[in-house]
Structure 1
Amino acid sequence: MTGGSKKPHFVGASDIKKNRPKVLKTSDHSSHSHNVGVSKASGSKKQRNGSVYTGLGVAAIGIVSWFVYQGYLETRVNSPLRENKVAFPTSHDFPERYWGSFRPGVYFGMKSREAHSLLAGLMWFMPDMAAAGSLNLRHLCDQGDNLEQYGWREHDGRNFGVQVIIDKFIQLETSFMTKPGGNHGGDWTARIHVEPRMKELVGQQVTLFFYLTLDDNGKGLLQPIRILDNMDTSGMDANESAKFLGLSAVHGHTENLGDFRVSFHHANQQSIVHTAFLSTTVASPHLVKDALESGLRLMEDKRTQQRHISLAGALFSKEDKLKQPNFVVHQVTGKLPLQLEVVYESNSFVERGAMLRGEVYDTLLQKYRKDFRVKFESKFHLNEKGFSDEEQNFAIAAMSNLVGGIGYFYGSSKVQSVHNKEPVPYWNVPLYTAVPSRSFFPRGFLWDEGFHNLIISQWDREISLDIMAHWFDLMNVEGWIPREQILGSEARARVPEEFVVQRNDQGNPPTFFLVLDAMFKNRTVRDISTLELEQLNRMWPRLVSWYNWFNTSLHGPEPGTYYWRGRASASARELNPKSLSSGLDDYPRASHPTPYERHLDLRCWIALAAKVMASIADITGREGHKYHEAFLFLSDNELLNAQHWSETAKRYADFGLHSSSATLQRPKSNPGQPKPDKIRVVLEEPTARFVDDTFGYVSLFPLIMELLHPDSPQLGQLLHDLRNPNLLWTKYGLRSLSKTSPLYNKRNTEHDPPYWRGPIWININYLVARALHHYSVVEGPHQTRATLLYNELRENLISNIVREYQKTGYIWEQYSDANGAGQGCRPFTGWSTLVLLLMSETYV
């Protein structure tokens, strides 16, 4: 131990026996009472009876009180915080963002920001290319579809978006524009344009399905209007009439939208081969693909002997015949190239002018795209910095995918505390949030969202404040926010049941403090808008509760120490029990979890939170002295070194009950029996010590949070170690765990590959680059080294991510520390999009 650190005492069975409280035996001492004026015998009897009744009454009250208190404890986990909501009402305050592409989990879809919205979506397939027994129908973003690329090329988060989807034989461009007006959110138009990827495919057929349905428990009316309803078909042959079997429009009504009309327009009637429709009921939005497939029929034209796959029209089961349809699909099969426009018009929008389609659409879209590019350069200055057109287009696409991945969800989480025997439902809530990955994680994650909004807040502060407001409105009475949000049937259907329940002793790193720090650092009340000040004031009570939750729920054994909850101490199959709530999952911690651990990264997160709380208190005119004092305490370098600096290894580290020698071994099994899973075998008994055999991202957190003094020798040591290629340095970025660490690239179970044990993660690399930039402009003995490291690390990260995007068509979840190859899920336009801030050198 160095620096006067105090070794914690680990409680074992012998300690419990030694410290067990003594139980007093009953004896004659209990009868020492004075009975004045009553005979001794009768007095004793009455006293005994009275004592019995009193005791029973006290016991009864105690039992009732205990059950009442237990009931109260059970309800706390799903009781909302009793403070005013932070988020403003949607439709009236933000009309430009009422409609949008708020269904990130589908390749293309539209949705309003209402609890029970009208949903619009797209599916497609190529009849000539369908595999035997399978249509290869595209709908949900799915890595298994093996699309060469898909994503938004431009998306401003308000008015429009343009997306390109490159399938095997075709390229789709899906675009949309919104037009605020009226009393119910205004209008929008979606355009789907399909081109063949090879000249020889011109004239081949493609089938598009554009559908409308209602979100979970949504009530309303969808009335399909067929093309033939308003046509004279007496002179048409079968081929001609087949073009007009679909829908011209859908008339609808919901409580929030009022009356509306959705119309379908085909750019070139000569390219249309067949249209059809489906009108039916569906139990839930996540079942729309199944419902559509069940409505398909193989039809044959007797005159031409041609077959085509067609929707069956109205399709209701016996029990559904009295129901109104809540799922309506328009099908168009046509020859490539093909274009479909879908126009949504609100009945309350009276003076809209020309319909938003055709040349009107083209003209307005070009204006929006031009304005978008001008705004992008004014925000990020990439042209000014000398980036090529190709690199700028990459950056624009990266940010557009993040903004275009913002979704609007509604529903309730499943939560559980130690006081609940079974999971219980949270209250129903809306959530406006970006998502890490449209294919693999199309839902909200608390710690990811802070990184997302470092970018979004630079692009559109109003959107970012709105997102944070929705997240803070998820807070329960304890000040806890469930770390993963799986709201609504579409989101729930894509998550295995074992990952659905959120537990209230586990909370992700408070990354929103990074965003608030970047947005309001060195600013006063005079520098911010009235809207932003109002949002901060509404947010303040919830920030206080959140900060208090971290301090009271995750505190460690000594002042200034903290540890992440949720590590399984009895996990026999894990080489090192995971710390999922830390966000770093399988990053190695102390091998034997105890309540006496000290987690370095958590301490640094709370130091950041204290600093930002003090800053916001100053801006809003509140008393922030205690937060300022907490930050000074947690950033005190002497105390930090005493509790987390290993003088032996010369690095910052966690502290806990740890063994450096553990492995996975398969237990012996009897012949003919299935092989049991490998289990952990500890080859060296654990001791209370620093986890200093591990060097990786956690070791860098005092640097990351800029807690170290510019002249700190520990800072100098960290910067020296940072450039060591045997530790974290690669020419692609910083690996998550050093090559010298015992668990480098080791599986955590025989089924779980390494996750945070070697691969390069862009969120932590961005934070390190940001810190290096900070120390490069602050005078001190390490300024020159910090500058050199910053420039080299930034260049390595940018060049590798851009190169992999050009090579594969995607931004990835993580990157190989061996060759820089993208790996994990794709597209991952969540925190990997921080490459944009590296390019623009945006750190505040």
Structure 2
Amino acid sequence: MTRKNDTTRLRKKPVKLEEENDRVGKKKAKESPMSIYTLGVILSLIGAGIFLFLRMRAQESVKTPLNAPRVIKERSSSMPLAPHDAERFWGTYRSQLYFGMRTKYPTSPLFGLMWFDQFVGQGMPAVRHWCNQGDRLPRYGWLAHDGVNFGSQEIVDHRYIMMTDFVKRQGGSHGGDWTARFSLRPVPGQEKTVMSLLFYSVLQGQGKLTPEIVKNRLVAIHGSTEDLGSFTLRFPKSASNVKKTNFLTTYSPVVDQLKEVMMSRMLLENYEKGSKQSYIALGGHRMPPDFDGEPNFVVHQVTVSLPFEMEVVFESGSFKDRPNSLSGDTLTSELSKYHSHFDGKFENVFQLGKKNFGGHEVLLAKAALSNMVGGIGYWYGQSLVQSKYNEKPVEYWPAPLYSAVPSRSFFPRGFLWDEGFHNLLISKWDPEISKEIIGHWLDLMNQEGWIPREQILGDEARAKVPAEFVVQKNENANPPTLFLPLKLLIADLIKSEKAKDHDYLQAVFPRLKTWFNWFNVTQTGPIPFTYRWRGRDSETKRELNPKTLTSGLDDYPRASHPTDDEYHVDLRCWMAFAAGILADIAKSLGEPHEEYKATYDILTNNDLLDKLHWDPVTERYADYGLHSNKVKLEKPKPPKNIKQGQTPPSPQHLEKVRVTKVEPKNQFVDSFGYVSLFPFLLQIIEPTSPKLGKILTDLRNEKMLWTNHGLRSLAKIAPLYNKYNTEHDGPYWRGPIWININFLAVRALNYYSTNEGPYKDQARSIYVDLRKNLIDNVLKEYKRTGFIWEQYDDATGHGKGSHPFTGWSALVVAIMAEEY
């Protein structure tokens, strides 16, 4: 067999080289598809892995803090407070309450006041707790508040007037003591009023509350928490007019429903022996069914006839050398001392007496400032955020915020663009408070450089916000108004020789740079040196002009049909302003500043600005985009194809939709108003520019923006002046007068009236008249209504919108003081 096989093998013809190569090639050809396929699979897997990795990084990026040192250092709860921290550790930081106290620590115990009238109607009483426009109180607000040590507030309810006063005393290692006093007197004709005051303490985290009850009366609450150590809250016995005392010790799983928990534990009791009247009382020790834990919510109730006065005394366990109790005559003396100091400081800072303002005007100004600083709150929690890489909202990292609020009743939370205006006033009163607020906002920056524009932190804050406004999207900006107070602050910080001031600039600068870069990456326009607000809805059919919430000017008319090709003059001006401040900070720190200076020079170049945003037809600055003035809201016609047996919908039941009568085209947006003024408002127009003269002439024209109450937001000749944006959404920035933009206008007029140019005298004349109109109208409305308002009607000057609105409307104080 072996030989035969060998012979057979030898008899085969020799294989030619070409045939061998062909055979090998065919073999390789058979093997190659498998090799290419394997390589393709490997490369695909690598690509998919890289894609998934990058996508995961993008998904995480929106909720990842910026990798830079924090401006506000985190405090360890186990360490005693530094003196500068202790001074502002306690405060009226529960902005949404008529009266509440807490510390600037995430799990601080919360203290607050509730009250209600007895013997009024049937059913549950109307309990006051959170500031609520639905309560329809004739007036309430701080009359004096220094932001640190004390405050005095007047609350006018329908049957009585209540004063809430508090004073702090430093001592120990946990922020010291404080005492609150509540004094009530009846309004004329209501002398027989009987009402109940309720003061409570509730824990947010770990800790203990132990009530001290003597003869069925709650005389004190003894507590301890990680951040406060031990403390006592005492309820000294009131001198007279006390009818009944009651208490409640229970457990509340959440802090945003304390009123509801308390009301569910109420009982009816006999008011007096032999009386047929019953009064509403707390039910004593009442824990939830099947709950065997410790109480975390303790309430003291005192039912009284008027007049009446009550004190609540908080004493820190670490305050070992306390000279006496901060109550009674001692409290009265301390209140008097702080009132006197407040009045002296107020005149020193704002000098209204020297400017010949009278008593009523000064009282308004003090109330406006006091409500601004008295409305500063502290929150801790997580925002809900979303990027285009996240299918669903995700939680931001847990973070604190110390911030003023626009309105205690309607907007008791932090708003980014409001905060810049707030601190124009706060920085004049107390620069340290302002620096801390700005630091808190900058510490909310993620690694992209984005700051969520609305901060809804914690259960109490979230309970006040409609669901559709809770999620913040990382493509959406807000005007970088923090640069407004920074312009005022850095002048002093640069000159300061204090190490802490230099350290502050060093801390904020990296975050400001990152923020500025984020705008230049995410908010750029379609052509060089233009900018575009993101977040407009191009698909909506309900809105007459799709809102631009991110600009802060909400329904102010922009291009009627949003596209990626539009660009906005106000955002360009904000970026110019920010670039100039960054150049100043960088130069003062010895950092490279040339790039910011070059950006500032380009964005303030009047020739380039005019080329991009000056409409030669209307002779005004304007946005540019796909636009038509011929749009209307109309009831849609009922559908024609109605199946047999179906009833066609009635036209009046169909919601109005937008109808475009003339097709839009790319053009300047013909809507003269606040947006048109931004090159003037932020002082980018040269004092010698003829365009400044045209703007000043238009300002003073009563058919345009001028009224006897301030500058209206949209000219009377504008197509959408006072038009509803949907069938149900009334005009917001389409006519009413807003104090923040009027402040910028007065500030700009002051600038142009003090810089050489052909329009100097014209600017001065308008400045004098506009300043007077604003002051007179805010004062008139405060006298008439008891409140400072969100906006003012351009026809009557009457206050409109939410109230009290002592956010940027409080800038009337700076206008009075001529502090710009």
TM over 0.5: yes
Cross-structure match for 1:209: 198
Cross-structure match for 1:276: 246
The one-letter code matched in structure 2 to 1:475 is M
Q: CA deviation at 1:301?
A: 5.7
Q: CA deviation at 1:528?
A: 5.6
CA distance in structure 1 between the partners assigned to 2:621 and 2:214 by the alignment: 71
Question: 2:488 aligns to what SS in structure 1?
Answer: helix
Alignment of 1:26-175 (within 5 A): 39-89=24-74, 91-92=81-82, 93-128=84-119, 130-175=120-165
Cross-structure match for 1:520: 490
Match of 2:455 among 485, 492, 497: 485
Q: CA deviation at 1:44?
A: 2.0
CA distance in structure 1 between the partners assigned to 2:187 and 2:209 by the alignment: 36
Cross-structure match for 2:377: 407
Q: CA deviation at 1:379?
A: 0.4
Question: 2:810 aligns to what SS in structure 1?
Answer: helix
Deviations 1:279-302 (A, max 9, x none): 000011111100111111101268
**Are 2:237 and 1:259 aligned?**
no
CA distance in structure 2 between the partners assigned to 1:37 and 1:352 by the alignment: 104
Cross-structure match for 2:561: 592
154-163 or 309-318: bigger deviation: 309-318
Equivalent pair of 1:761/1:814 in contact (CA under 8 Å): yes
Cross-structure match for 1:537: 506
Match of 1:767 among 734, 744, 765: 744
Match of 1:680 among 649, 655, 658: 658
Deviations 1:645-665 (A, max 9, x none): 011110000000111110011
642-651 or 304-313: bigger deviation: 304-313
Question: 1:730 aligns to what SS in structure 2?
Answer: coil
Cross-structure match for 1:224: 211
Question: 1:285 aligns to what SS in structure 2?
Answer: coil
Deviations 1:543-588 (A, max 9, x none): 1110101111100111110000000001111100000000000000
Question: 2:236 aligns to what SS in structure 1?
Answer: strand
The one-letter code matched in structure 1 to 2:717 is T
Cα 1:197–1:38 change in 2 (3 A) is farther
Q: CA deviation at 1:507?
A: 1.2
Q: What TM-score, normalized to structure 2?
A: 0.94
Q: CA deviation at 1:38?
A: 8.0
The one-letter code matched in structure 2 to 1:170 is Y
Equivalent pair of 2:159/2:193 in contact (CA under 8 Å): no
Question: 1:698 aligns to what SS in structure 2?
Answer: helix
CA distance in structure 1 between the partners assigned to 2:471 and 2:376 by the alignment: 23
Equivalent pair of 1:414/1:424 in contact (CA under 8 Å): yes
Alignment of 1:460-609 (within 5 A): 460-521=430-491, 525-527=494-496, 529-609=498-578
CA distance in structure 2 between the partners assigned to 1:36 and 1:374 by the alignment: 105
Match of 2:628 among 643, 659, 672: 659
Equivalent pair of 2:152/2:164 in contact (CA under 8 Å): yes
CA distance in structure 1 between the partners assigned to 2:486 and 2:154 by the alignment: 33
Question: 1:222 aligns to what SS in structure 2?
Answer: strand
Cα 1:135–1:372 change in 2 (3 A) is same
Cross-structure match for 1:730: 707
CA distance in structure 1 between the partners assigned to 2:699 and 2:309 by the alignment: 54
Q: Which runs of 4+ in 1 moved over 6 A?
A: 35-38
**Are 2:590 and 1:614 aligned?**
no
CA distance in structure 1 between the partners assigned to 2:601 and 2:497 by the alignment: 27
Equivalent pair of 2:59/2:390 in contact (CA under 8 Å): yes
Cα 1:134–1:307 change in 2 (3 A) is closer
Cα 1:168–1:51 change in 2 (3 A) is same
Deviations 1:241-279 (A, max 9, x none): xxxx331000001111111110001331x3111001000
**Are 2:756 and 1:779 aligned?**
yes
CA distance in structure 2 between the partners assigned to 1:739 and 1:257 by the alignment: 57
Q: How many residues align?
A: 785
Q: CA deviation at 1:834?
A: 0.5
CA distance in structure 2 between the partners assigned to 1:303 and 1:787 by the alignment: 73
The one-letter code matched in structure 2 to 1:686 is P
Equivalent pair of 1:708/1:715 in contact (CA under 8 Å): yes
The one-letter code matched in structure 2 to 1:267 is S
**Are 2:278 and 1:338 aligned?**
no
Q: CA deviation at 1:178?
A: 1.1
85-94 or 630-639: bigger deviation: 85-94
Match of 2:279 among 308, 311, 331: 308
Cross-structure match for 2:672: 695
The one-letter code matched in structure 1 to 2:797 is G
Q: CA deviation at 1:37?
A: 10
Deviations 1:576-612 (A, max 9, x none): 0000000000000001111111100000000001000
Identical pairs, percent: 48
Q: CA deviation at 1:318?
A: 2.3
CA distance in structure 1 between the partners assigned to 2:235 and 2:121 by the alignment: 29
Q: What TM-score, normalized to structure 1?
A: 0.92
Q: CA deviation at 1:36?
A: 8.9
The one-letter code matched in structure 1 to 2:654 is P
CA distance in structure 2 between the partners assigned to 1:163 and 1:141 by the alignment: 13
CA distance in structure 2 between the partners assigned to 1:78 and 1:524 by the alignment: 32
Match of 1:289 among 246, 259, 265: 259
CA distance in structure 2 between the partners assigned to 1:303 and 1:698 by the alignment: 69
Cross-structure match for 2:3: none
Cross-structure match for 1:196: 186
Alignment of 1:428-467 (within 5 A): 428-467=398-437
Question: 1:265 aligns to what SS in structure 2?
Answer: coil
CA distance in structure 2 between the partners assigned to 1:186 and 1:89 by the alignment: 20
The one-letter code matched in structure 2 to 1:149 is R
Equivalent pair of 1:300/1:307 in contact (CA under 8 Å): yes
Cross-structure match for 1:369: 339
Question: 1:639 aligns to what SS in structure 2?
Answer: helix
Equivalent pair of 2:137/2:156 in contact (CA under 8 Å): yes
CA distance in structure 1 between the partners assigned to 2:246 and 2:223 by the alignment: 19
CA distance in structure 1 between the partners assigned to 2:192 and 2:677 by the alignment: 58
Question: 1:67 aligns to what SS in structure 2?
Answer: helix
* Structure having the higher Rg: 2
Q: CA deviation at 1:131?
A: 3.0
CA distance in structure 2 between the partners assigned to 1:560 and 1:753 by the alignment: 34
CA distance in structure 1 between the partners assigned to 2:176 and 2:290 by the alignment: 36
Match of 1:623 among 569, 589, 592: 592
Deviations 1:1-39 (A, max 9, x none): xxxxxxxxxxxxxxxxxxxxxxxxxxxxxxxxxx99982
Cross-structure match for 1:238: none
The one-letter code matched in structure 1 to 2:773 is N
Equivalent pair of 2:147/2:374 in contact (CA under 8 Å): yes
CA distance in structure 2 between the partners assigned to 1:127 and 1:672 by the alignment: 53
Cα 1:255–1:36 change in 2 (3 A) is farther
